[in-house]
Amino acid sequence: MAKILVVEDNALNIKLFCDLLNAHGHETEPVTDSRDALEAAKNFGPDLVITDIQLPHVTGLELMAMLRADEQLKNVPIMAVTAYSAQGDDERIRAAGASAYVSKPISVVRFAETVEQLLEAARVWDEALAPDPGAWPGVG
Ligand code: MN
C-alpha cells in the first residue's frame, strides 16, 4: 500500500486513476485544482505523485518544479500523464522532474505497471548514490 497524490483537472480521468490505484490497494488523494496541489502534497506526504501535464492555473511542469524545489517533497517520484507526446516532450518532461510518464489515452496495464515500478525503485532509492533529483533512476 502506498500513498499516491493524483493531480488531474478532468473529473472522469481522476476518478479512473483513483479507482485503478485503489483497486491495487493504494490510498489516493485526488486534487482537481492544481493551485491546491503543493499544499495537499505537504499535508498528505505521498509516496508517489501522479500529475497531468495539461492543467489550468499551475501546469504540470510548474507543479513538478515546485515539488522538486521543496525540501520535504524533492525526492518523491513523479509520474506525469500527458495527452500530447510530441518529439522533445520526453526530454522536457523529464527535465522538469518527472521520473516517468505515460501518454493519454492511458493503457490501464501500462499505467499500473509504471506505478509499481516507480514505487519499487523508490523503495531501493539511496539518496547517497544520487543526491541530484535530476539523476533519479526513472523508468518507462
Ligand atoms: Mn488536463
* Residues 6 or more apart in contact with residue 116 via CB below 8 angstroms: 24
Q: Is 50 left (phi over 0), alpha (psi -120 to 50) or beta?
A: beta
What's the CA gap between 124 and 54, in Å, rounded? Answer: 31
Q: List, in order of start, the domains of the chain with CATH numbers.
A: 3-135 (3.40.50.2300)
Task: Compute, in angstroms, the gap from residue 119 CA to the centroid of ligand 1.
Answer: 24
Instruction: Identify the residue with better confidence: 41 or 82.
Output: 41
Task: Compute, in angstroms, the gap from residue 54 CA to the centroid of ligand 1.
Answer: 4
Percent of the chain topping pLDDT 70: 86
Task: Compute, in angstroms, the gap from residue 47 CA to the centroid of ligand 1.
Answer: 22
What's the CA gap between 55 and 105, in Å, rounded? Answer: 16
Which residues crowd ion ligand 1, with CB under 5 Å? 9, 52, 54
Q: How confident is the model at residue 71 (pLDDT cuts 50, 70, 90)?
A: very high
Query: In Å, what is the CA distance from 44 to each residue of 4, 39, 49, 82, 85?
Result: 9, 9, 11, 24, 30
Least confident of 18-22, 63-67, 111-115, 127-131: 127-131
**CB distance 64 to 36 below 8 Å:** no
* Residues 6 or more apart in contact with residue 110 via CB below 8 angstroms: 102, 140
Q: C-alpha cell of 40?
A: 495537499
Mean pLDDT value across residues 23-45: 98
Task: Compute, in angstroms, the gap from residue 76 CA to the centroid of ligand 1.
Answer: 21
Compute how many other C-beta atoms are within 10 angstroms of the C-beta atom of residue 132: 7
- What is the pTM (predicted TM-score) of this model? 0.87
Instruction: Supply the pLDDT for residue 128.
Output: 44
Task: Compute, in angstroms, the gap from residue 118 CA to the centroid of ligand 1.
Answer: 22
Task: Compute, in angstroms, the gap from residue 13 CA to the centroid of ligand 1.
Answer: 9
Task: Compute, in angstroms, the gap from residue 134 CA to the centroid of ligand 1.
Answer: 24
Instruction: Supply the pLDDT for residue 135.
Output: 59
